[in-house]
Amino acid sequence: MNTNVKRILSLSLCFLLLTGMAAGAVGCSKAEYHKITAEEAMKMMQESSSFILLDVRTEDEFMERRIEGAILIPNTEIESRAKDELPDKNELILVYCRSGKRSASAAYALVEMGYTNVYDFGGIIDWPFETVSGGLNQ
């Protein structure tokens, strides 16, 4: 390789490293899918002052049994309702369903829409903590 090519490659590498470091320094977040356990979700809920607990099941399932404080946006409506009901794309969002399939699908959809702090903790069937029943989005 000649000297000019080496110099250009070196400068290009430095530019890429510096822009990557600058992005991290200003708090740019990358949207990516995160799978956690129910216990990890509970710990995050206890340690965070602001989060959204998102149930992506049907309204009937939600009314029957849910985690207190959860809001309902059925998985089939995530793409049409998220923009209005989840306006802060950097807010902590903890997603669950019945067994984990719909929560994974919804979490991936949110990430694809640019939400940066999304955690899927699977299904309510694996939730070892208290739940409530009745009432919509209460």
Q: Give residue 31's pLDDT.
A: 85
CA distance 4 to 2: 6
Q: Where are the domains of the chain?
A: 1-29, 31-126
Q: Give residue 2's pLDDT.
A: 60
Topology classification of domain 31-126: Oxidized Rhodanese; domain 1 (3.40.250)
pLDDT digits (tens, 9 = 90+) for 82-138: 999 999 999 999 999 999 999 999 999 999 999 999 999 999 999 999 999 986 644
CA distances from 138 to 32, 70, 112, 135 (A): 29, 7, 28, 6
pLDDT digits (tens, 9 = 90+) for 110-119: 999 999 999 9
Q: Give residue 134's pLDDT.
A: 84
Measuring CA to CA, which residue among 46, 67, 43 is closest to residue 55? 67
pLDDT digits (tens, 9 = 90+) for 4-51: 544 544 544 444 444 444 344 344 567 899 999 999 999 999 999 999
pLDDT, the chain, mean: 85
